Amino acid sequence: MTRHPRSTRPESGAAPAFHATSAGRPAGPRELLIRDGADREIGRIEFRLCRACGRGHVVSVTVAPSWQGQGLAREALHRILPNDLALTWTTSRQTAQGRAFFAAVTEETGIDFPAGQPGCVHLREPG
């Protein structure tokens, strides 16, 4: 079940902060939360990585409506891309907005993010 961030209005001078959670096991679920200056959740990326198979899967990307269009999802995605390993990525089913987002990120990074099932058995295991 995907939890959606609360819709909060951007506060003047309140820079968003990014907070990563770690997986309980190597290919387990992970999150990168985006919080506003008042420590309210305004976005998140849920993802999984399997370094053994060289695969990554983006489960969901959400940003509160009042915070959209500021590059937060793009920055969050860049933060989850490992610097030390080139992974082959997939994403969950994409909305029209999601397809536009991933197309822009693909153009920027050179990394393709096709919608589809995770590419390895480890990422398909329940969290």
Query: Which residues of the chain are under the pLDDT cut of 50?
Result: 1-7
Output the pLDDT for position 33: 96
Structural domain boundaries, residue 109? 15-120
pTM, rounded to two decimals: 0.82
15: left (phi over 0), alpha (psi -120 to 50) or beta: beta
Residue 100 lies in a domain: yes
What's the pLDDT tens digit per position in 74-101? 999 999 987 766 789 999 888 888 899 9
Q: Assess if residue 33 is contained within a domain.
A: yes
Of 94, 87, 98, 95, the closest CA to residue 120 belongs to 87
**CATH code at position 73:** 3.40.630.30
